[in-house]
Amino acid sequence: MVKYDIPSSSERSEDKDTEWSVVKPAAFTYHRAYDVNDTIAQLAELGPDAKILAGGQSLVAMMNFRLARPSALVDITRIGGLDFLAKDAGGLRIGALTRHRTVETTKVDGFEVLSKAARWIGHYPIRCRGTFGGSIAHGDSTAEWCLLTVLLEAWIVLQGPRGRREVPATEFFHGFFMTAAEPDEMIVEVRFPRPAPHAALTEFSQRQGDFAVVAASARLDLAENEILTSRIVLGGVGPQPAVVDVDLAGQPANEETWRAAGEAAAAQVDPPSDGHGSGAYRKKLTATLVARALAEAAA
Amino acid sequence: MTAWVGARVPRKEDRRMLLGRGRFVADMARANTLHASFVRSPYASATIRSIDVSAARQVEGVLEVLTGKDLGDPFLQAVLERDEFTPTKMPMLATDRVRFASEPVAVVIAEDAYAAEDGAEAVEVEWETGPVVPDIAAALEAATEVHSGTGNCLVDLVMFDDPALPGIFANAPLTIEATFRSARVSALPMEGRATLAEWDDRDGQVVVHTSTQVPHQTRSGIAQALGIPERSVRVIAPDVGGGFGQKCVVSREEVVLAAAAMRLRRPVIWVEDRQENLTASVHGHEQEYEVTAAFDADGRILGLSADIRCDIGAYSVYPFTCAVEPLMAATELPGIYKVPAYRARGRGFATNKAPTAPYRGVSRPQIVLVMERLMEKAAARLGVDAVDIRRRNMILPGEFPYTGVNNITYDEGSYLESLDLTEKKITEAGWYAERDRLREQGLFAGIGFSCFSERTAYGTPTMSQRRMRMTPGYDTAHVRMDPSGEVIVTTGTSGHGQGHETTFAQIVADQLGIHPDQVRLRQGDTDLTSYGWGTFGSRSIVIGGGAARKAAGTVAGRLRKVAAHLLEVGEDDVELTQGEAGVRGVPDVSLPISELARIVHFQTHQLPEECRYGLEARESADPPGTFSNACHAVLVSVDPGTGEIRARKFMVVEDCGVIINPLVVDGQVRGGVAQGIAAALYERITFDQEGQPTSTTLMDYLVPTAGEICPIEIHHLETPSQFSENGSKGMGEGGTIGAPAAVLNAINDALAHRGIEFDHIPVLPEDVLS
Ligand SMILES: Cc1cc2nc3c(=O)[nH]c(=O)nc-3n(C[C@H](O)[C@H](O)[C@H](O)COP(=O)(O)OP(=O)(O)OC[C@H]3O[C@@H](n4cnc5c(N)ncnc54)[C@H](O)[C@@H]3O)c2cc1C
């Protein structure tokens, strides 16, 4: 008697019909760029409603909600040579197309804060696609890279039809998704001028992987147990990363200093309220997180 | 014989799911399928002045734009046959007035999803916005009415009213007054709603493939709304990616898609996106309880009175009605505790928000929370141990069956045993030491309990007390053995992730003495199964599984007759096991069951009259319902700096009677507990004062991830039910029911030293710090 193997029900269903999915952006045209000049030329040609597409982790979501309606996308992910972390004259350069995940897994002496902070960004698949330059260009006020470029006084390197220019991060973020970059410019890299061995970023959100309700970052220069210089930058308390006016120079590096600095920082901010927390709650978070970031930076 | 019932049989469903070869509605689009997109109201309350579809019709790819008027104003009306209930109509597409933001007013049908979306944007509606009823307080005030002439209170039930209560409250050693609140939440199935409707000329039917828990009710709803016979509609539920109640009511979109397919004579598909799922589908659990309870000096409850108010949203869902939450709450509040005197008023208020439907647990997460908080409050005030006070109040062994003040008879359960075992297990596992350790680390930490039972498997004897015009409850199964000895079972229940293909097969296999792999379950197709009520309310294994067991038992009787004839022995001596019909006490004499099946079909003339013509049977089950029970415990920590609350360890001791498949039971418990933790700590659907939804994406609606849910340890007790064919009790909702109360109690334990006490869910980090 012949005996056929009955395919298990799962193997029989090869006959799936047309593949399609529920994505629903408004119509746009898609273009691919192969180098930076090509990108700039295409942006110029396509006009101010064209947008660069990098990792797509912010832009595509906004397009699906039709909150962003670019007429054209210029995909820069095929450009070679922009995916790097490079030590440079005591500082560090990070290429615009460097994925969050690459930063997370690359330890650079004096810049440990970057790889540690990367763990706070979204989830693993998002970190594998999202880019350093995209995050800076997107300019979310709680984004880890936006905070750290301001904290470490980095320079954003832009290239456009009028050439190359460098903008200090402290002047780059203009509030809710607005930056100093012109629509026809591309971020090519970010330059950190000097190492920050005593720096840390910490934040709070209810769920792992979410954007921070409040994020606090701190950098210290220490001599023995004394603070020489300090810098504190917050996210989630206003439309852009907020530099706190608290100078800890001359103070001892101890719990009491951190706690007082936290209180002082909280007193300076007037955060907005939304579904993730009221302004009053964000103030309390600020006090806690600044103290914790300072303690971690000093450790 | 039980060879398979109780075994850890891996789910038959898993292989195709894990390989990505499940077949969901979105997998079914044919080459000529059209795509639907709904035009939805941007306002919570508005009059529709006009709808201009001319621009939308010009959009390339758009074939048709339909309004409610075009469809003849179809509506559904769910009815409860009680004076205290006011029926309201739910139009399938709103024509004159919208009552919540996202309510559908038109549908655009196009060649692809993009064009449909563009067309929907191009429909121009002239709105005149009106005043909004954003919450229960505004509904009570009734300055504005959601449905004219109703006063906003669509159901007002005084279920029990013991005249002795005022006296009891006045004289009791302890009287507690408290208000409890739970936020509006979404059931949030992983697959949102989805429907593909197509006209079939051969059968003269509209075939509606839809992601539903209730295929027959959906067929009835479509037929009633469109005024066509049920025969003209066939509803098929393919693989369904979860429902949790959101899909146990008929969606307006399902009816509209059916109507569109009938008009266009082409398949039309609609797959909602997450934003629609969060704003335009149904919600649940938005309730407040104003409670008074009296206790004696030893902590025994003397009397309980509750004013229960449910925010039911803009419409009464079909067919359950908007009374489902207040009715459940008012009837079942006392739970496992012996309450001597009781009063409950349950009301449902219309607001300008999406309608509410039965979401996993239906009011029981709230009533358990109320009772468990009352126990803890009384314990604290009286200086009684918080665990012990429950022992003093619960129905104890030897007291079953117990008929409560609410007229409900509780069948045998293990209320005390499950509490004792939970306490023992967490002590052995070192939870109390862990709590101390966390406190030393500077965190607040607490342990919380909740004890509860869950009435499951409501048949018509209990469902009929609600007096719904459409009263669910019974279910029918058909079992048919083919000539090769394999079996197809049909059921009116409709599994959507619960593993019914596996568990029903286990039940039937045991009856027939065959392997579960030889049993195939057919469900979710109204043309192939008897009228049945689908899957909700923890009913399927008891009612559907019970009917299947009965029908399989009848077929087994036939097989025994055939074997007795062929083996020339007495029927009662025939045993069906491991694929053989053997003779009790005579090990060498047997016939393969497949041989019996072959003879019955192919040489039926050789058998006596009563053994001929196939092997099949149809049976129904309609039980009164049976109570499963459980005890939950949880260890939480609270970060005093951020207010972050984390559930760290979770223990469940549950009793669902006879366990058909421990793997499936554990899965149900884990998923349920996760949803319960979600309701206690993370999830809430929010609106602003204009009734605009403000949690419209999963960035704002915080469904927890694996990162937030702690390990859950599960232990089983088995107290079989006499009201159930299998001895099983339903258990699909228990996890969701018990977890919020346990988490809330644990938070209060953690914060007790600060004099903070919470009686609402979710408790947010912000609450802790304010
Ligand atoms: C669920 C989820 C959680 C997330 N959580 C976090 C988080 O916690 N923290 C965080 O920082 N981010 C988070 N993100 C965002 C993520 O980091 C994005 O990757 C990042 O914001 C944008 O980078 P991208 O490469 O994906 O840019 P895209 O999405 O491709 O583009 C974003 C914007 O930047 C512009 N752009 C991109 N590259 C350039 C360039 N080189 N020059 C000029 N303009 C450019 C685009 O035109 C667009 O306007 C999350 C995202 C998701 C989906």
Q: What is the pLDDT of residue B161?
A: 96
Domain count, chain A: 3
The verdict on B109 and B234 lying in the same domain is: yes
Q: What is the pLDDT of residue B218?
A: 98
Q: Quick one: residue B564, left, alpha or beta (phi over 0 = left, psi -120 to 50 = alpha)?
A: alpha
Determine the structural domain holding residue B565 and report its residue range: 474-621
Q: With beta carbons under 8 A apart, name residues in chain A contacting B26.
A: 21-22
CA A184/CA A177 separation, integer angstroms: 16
Residue B156 lies in a domain: no
- The residue from B271, B306, B341 where one domain ends is B271
Domain count, chain B: 3
pLDDT tens digits for range B395-428: 999 999 999 999 999 999 999 999 999 999 999 9
The verdict on A176 and A232 lying in the same domain is: no
The verdict on B123 and B223 lying in the same domain is: yes
Residue A16 lies in a domain: no
The verdict on A89 and A188 lying in the same domain is: yes
pLDDT at A28 over 80: yes
The verdict on A57 and A104 lying in the same domain is: no
Which CATH number goes with the domain that contains A59? 3.30.43.10
Residue A118 lies in a domain: yes
Q: Is A206 in contact with B695 (Cβ distance < 8 A)?
A: no
Determine the structural domain holding residue A219 and report its residue range: 199-298
Which CATH number goes with the domain that contains B253? 3.90.1170.50
Q: Is B695 in contact with A275 (Cβ distance < 8 A)?
A: yes
**pTM value?**
0.96
Residue B631 lies in a domain: yes
The verdict on B596 and B703 lying in the same domain is: no
Residue A7 lies in a domain: no
Q: What is the DSSP string of B159-220?
A: EEE-TTHHHHHHH-SEEEEEEEEE--B----SS--EEEEEEETTTTEEEEEE--S-HHHHHH
- The residue from A75, A102, A136 where one domain ends is A75
Q: What is the pLDDT of residue A20?
A: 53
> What are the C-alpha distances in Å from B606 to residues B364, B565, B575?
57, 10, 22
* Mean of pLDDT values over A62-86: 96
Q: What is the pLDDT of residue A3?
A: 64
The verdict on A90 and A184 lying in the same domain is: yes
Q: What is the pLDDT of residue A6?
A: 58
On the 0-12 / 13-18 / 19+ scale of CB atoms within 10 A, B612 is middle
**Nearest residue, CB atoms, B16 vs list A10, A20, A292:** A10
The verdict on B314 and B399 lying in the same domain is: yes
Which CATH number goes with the domain that contains A180? 3.30.465.10
pLDDT tens digits for range A133-190: 999 999 999 999 999 999 999 999 999 999 999 999 999 999 988 999 999 999 999 9
CA distance A269 to chain B (A): 17
CA B326/CA B317 separation, integer angstroms: 14
Which CATH number goes with the domain that contains B384? 3.30.365.10
DSSP summary character for residue B111: S
Q: Is A143 in the pocket of ligand 1 (CB under 6 A)?
A: yes
Q: Is A288 in contact with B641 (Cβ distance < 8 A)?
A: yes
The verdict on B388 and B482 lying in the same domain is: no
pLDDT average per 10 residues of sequence, chain B (770 residues):
90 94 91 95 98 98 98 96 95 98 98 94 98 97 95 96 98 98 98 97 96 98 97 98 97 98 97 96 98 98 98 96 96 98 98 97 98 98 97 98 96 98 98 98 98 95 91 96 98 97 98 98 97 96 98 98 97 96 94 98 96 96 96 98 98 98 98 98 96 96 96 98 94 97 98 96 96
Residue B10 lies in a domain: no
At A17, is the pLDDT very low, low, confident or very high (cuts 50, 70, 90)?
A: very low
Of all residues in chain B, the one with the smallest CA distance to A21 is: B26
> Average model confidence (pLDDT) for chain B?
97
Residue B166 lies in a domain: no
The verdict on B481 and B550 lying in the same domain is: yes
The verdict on A68 and A90 lying in the same domain is: no
Residue B394 lies in a domain: yes
Q: What is the pLDDT of residue A12?
A: 44
On the 0-12 / 13-18 / 19+ scale of CB atoms within 10 A, A168 is middle
The verdict on A57 and A110 lying in the same domain is: no
The verdict on A188 and A224 lying in the same domain is: no
The verdict on A231 and A260 lying in the same domain is: yes
The verdict on B487 and B617 lying in the same domain is: yes
Residue A6 lies in a domain: no
pLDDT at A13 over 60: no
Residue A119 lies in a domain: yes
**Nearest residue, CB atoms, B694 vs list A13, A27, A275:** A275
- The residue from A75, A94, A114 where one domain ends is A75
Coil, strand or helix: which one is B580?
A: strand
Q: What is the pLDDT of residue A177?
A: 86
What is the 3 state secondary structure string of B696-759?
A: CCCCCCCCCCCCCCCCEEEEEECCCCCCCCCCECCCCCHHHHHHHHHHHHHHHHHHHHHCCCCC
At A89, is the pLDDT very low, low, confident or very high (cuts 50, 70, 90)?
A: confident
The verdict on B100 and B216 lying in the same domain is: yes
CA A143/CA A190 separation, integer angstroms: 15
Per the document, the length of chain A is: 299
- The residue from B596, B621, B646 where one domain ends is B621
CA distance A123 to chain B (A): 11
Q: What is the pLDDT of residue A152?
A: 98
